[in-house]
Structure 1
Amino acid sequence: MELCGPMRVQTINGKKYILVIVDDYSRFTWVKFLRSKDETPKVVIKFLKQIQVGLNKTVRNIRTDNGTEFVNKDLTEYYERVGIFHQKTVSRTPQQNDVVERRNRTLVEAARTMLIFSKAPMFLWAEAVATACYTQNRSLIHTRHCKTPYELVHDKKPDLTFFRVFGALCYLQMTNRSTIEFESSILYIKIQQ
């Protein structure tokens, strides 16, 4: 796990931080967006519970840096209660947590490129990061297994038929005959009579 931020521009919801979580075996990545570092313990505990129930997997080890957002009383007590071993890297040595550090950089650079290419406003950086994460989980091939991270976690091939270019014009048909139009990531609503 790694916490990235604060970002220069807040999202619409006031989020400034990205919590990046990478599975060591499959390299499947999850991103969570936070308003402040103080939210980290609550988000980590909720995420671990969801993974253990949703994927029916047991989390045995967690590797983080030695930041106070990861090394605190709440998380330490939770790890001891559920039997998770917390590996802490040495201060100022990002090389020890290199997998998540590289993924962090890859996601942020991909998001920046997507925002620039689509000419979208910078406050949509969280949507761009989430899209980059979603795309990379379903497209990067794990060389040892010749499968994507999604295939390794879910045991099935991902559906890629609905992929479009970030910032492309698209329409959503609503049941009450409203159409929502997205153009360059700016929302317009048209009501059909």
Structure 2
Amino acid sequence: MFPHLFQGLDISKFHCETCELAKHTRVSFHISSKRSSHPFHLIHSDIWGPSTIPNVSGARWFVSLIDDCTRVTWIFLLKQKSDVSIVIPNFHSMVQNQFGVKIKSFKTDNVRDSFNQILSPYFQSQGILHDSSCVNTPQQNGVAERKNGHLLNTTQVLLFQGNVPKIPSQVLDNKSPIEILKSFYPHFKTSNVLTPRVFGCTAFVHVHSQHRDKLDPQAIKCVFLGYSSTQKGYKCYNPSTRKFYISADVTFT
């Protein structure tokens, strides 16, 4: 009614309580460009699940562990969410033994039943800082949330297409996560250096003579799934018998 009374005033400094209650919105989040300067200084983690259908081993969850510096990602399947209390200490031991460093901090979502209650004593005993996001604010754990979304999308692509290329990331200056990790640890070698194969392709696993009769087939027709993390062999699956095989004696078509 009297606009001349408000000339020269900064309207942005006025706060209306009624407007706050009626028109309040969430804070916007921007993608952070900052990354740790060294591997394992910060690990992002998130638990996904439960899946409506368990896998053949009974797992319905998975936990992702992402190194902030290199973006190298480890995935562990879980039959129960509480299994994370075993996975995290084992992962930390692996990092210390293989890379000679200790994890400095963990960033997770606000899952009280898994991280806050089960793992808080472990984090405290190891001197690991634990930073969790606010309730219903997954944006604060964006690295792990985006990684899980990427993993699920990739899973769909693998199931539908049967092939996915290994493409470097622009976020990492067009280098793959393993390349970044090796720049810090030149002597680090991946556990498997077998020839890359197409996911889902037909694989014939050799049956050794001591496991078959003379007139039995000398190979089993399977589906190629990937590579063993503990043996130098291909991981294959026989849908008809629901059995897994890890073997170096495999041919592909």
TM-score, scaled relative to structure 2: 0.60
Q: Distance in 2 between matches of 1:160 and 1:145?
A: 24
Aligned to 1:171: 204
Higher normalized contact order (CA 8 Å, seq sep 6+, divided by chain length): 1
CA contact (8 A) 2:198 2:224 kept: no
Give the SS at the match of 1:87.
Answer: strand
Q: Deviations over 1:82-118 (max 9, x none)?
A: 1100011111111111111111001011112211334
Equivalent residues in 2 for 1:5-24, closer than 5 Å: 5-24=49-68
1:76 aligns with 2:109: no
Aligned to 2:249: none
Structure 1 residues 147, 78: CA separation in 2 closer, same or farther (over 3 Å shift)? same
CA contact (8 A) 2:65 2:73 kept: yes
CA contact (8 A) 1:142 1:148 kept: no
Alignment partner of 1:102 out of 134, 146, 164: 146
Aligned to 2:72: 28
Equivalent residues in 2 for 1:81-160, closer than 5 Å: 81-118=125-162, 139-141=167-169, 143-155=171-183
CA contact (8 A) 1:26 1:142 kept: no
More helix by share: 1
- Calculate the aligned-residue CA RMSD, in Å: 2.8
Identity fraction in percent: 24
Give the SS at the match of 1:70.
Answer: helix
**Bigger radius of gyration among the two:** 2
Q: Deviations over 1:131-188 (max 9, x none)?
A: 97xx7xx643354444211122234697887222211112344554753432487517
1:55 aligns with 2:70: no
Give the SS at the match of 2:115.
Answer: coil
1:40 aligns with 2:40: no
Aligned to 1:162: 195
Q: Deviations over 1:51-83 (max 9, x none)?
A: 2212222200100011021111x4122111111
Alignment partner of 1:182 out of 203, 214, 222: 222
CA contact (8 A) 1:142 1:149 kept: no
Of the structure 1 ranges 29-38 and 158-167, higher mean CA displacement relative to structure 2 is found in 158-167
Gaps of 5+ in 2: 1-44, 211-217, 226-236, 242-253
